[in-house]
Amino acid sequence: MFLLGTSATFVSVGLAGIVINLNKALVQGSANLPHIYQLYNSLFIVNALLMVANNLVTDLLFLYRCYIIWGSRKTVLILPGICMLATAVVGCISAVDGDALSAAVFTTPYITATGTNVILMCLTAGRIWYKKREALSVNGNTFRTRYSTAIAMILESGAIYCLSIILFVIAQYFVAHGPSSGSQSTSVFFGVTAGLWSQIVNIAPTLILVRVGMGHCQWIQDPTPADGRLVSQRRITDLKHINTPYELPAPVLEIK
């Protein structure tokens, strides 16, 4: 993801420089205009293919996380796997031959990418929520904060990812069909959303790792009375298997 994101950044900077030279060539009527235009198209295709590959790797990371949380059940991978494959295929087609496609078909890979992320987000968060209900019936509120924090992090990262794609699709619509499609504000909005999505595609899946590493997830909690009671009983059970002349400790009593 780092290599793909960095490569896409360099390609985007190169595209910006080519656009400046292309505008100068249009104004001055330069003879190099066809060559500059061809270079721009080639670099644009490379940039689009890099984004397709980057999105595929990001979805694979989401898919692997869902696969682990579901206890390595392969049947869970069928529906999101089909959506990921469709996104990659349509994305490659729109990247190579985007000029010949309509605006609706051109935005199809972004819509399927959003749908894939929503499916994976619901599967992952739904599974944790189901496990949370099972844990509450056994251990009460002992691990409630851990499950709630995990669900919140998954929903946050998925929501940021989906929001960035939705904003980019809206910007594409305004550029193609909006009432002020040629205005400067529309172009700025399109550029900002395009740059935002190209960065969020790598930031969103790693956001959980950063939050855990910075200690903002409260995984370590003070033991509750239920935790202390379970630990004490476990230690007594373990001591019964040890041949020792010393007397075993007395059972733990609850003092209310």
Of 199, 58, 211, 208, nearest to 125 by C-alpha is: 208
Lowest pLDDT segment from 5-19, 42-56, 76-90, 235-249 = 235-249
**How far is the C-alpha of 1 from the C-alpha of 95, rounded, in Å?**
19
DSSP string for residues in 210-238: HHHHTT-S--S-PPPHHHHHHHHHHHHHH
Residue with tokens 């939705």: 166
Helix 2-28 vs helix 184-213: crossing angle, to nearest 10:
170
pLDDT at 222 over 50: no
Model confidence at 79, pLDDT cuts 50, 70, 90, reads: very high
Is the pLDDT at 243 greater than 70? The verdict is: no
Structure-token pair, residue 32: 């190099």
**Distance, CA of 170 to chain centre:** 20
What is the structure's pLDDT at 168?
86
Burial of 235 (0-12, 13-18, 19+ CB in 10 A): exposed
Q: What is the C-alpha radius of gyration for the chain, rounded to an integer number of angstroms?
A: 27
Contact predicate 197/165, CB 8 Å: yes
Average pLDDT, the chain: 77
pLDDT score of 115 more than 60: yes
pLDDT in tens, 23-58: 888 888 777 788 888 888 888 889 889 989 998 998
**Domain boundaries along the sequence of the chain:** 2-221, 226-256
- Confidence category of residue 119, pLDDT binned at 50, 70, 90: very high
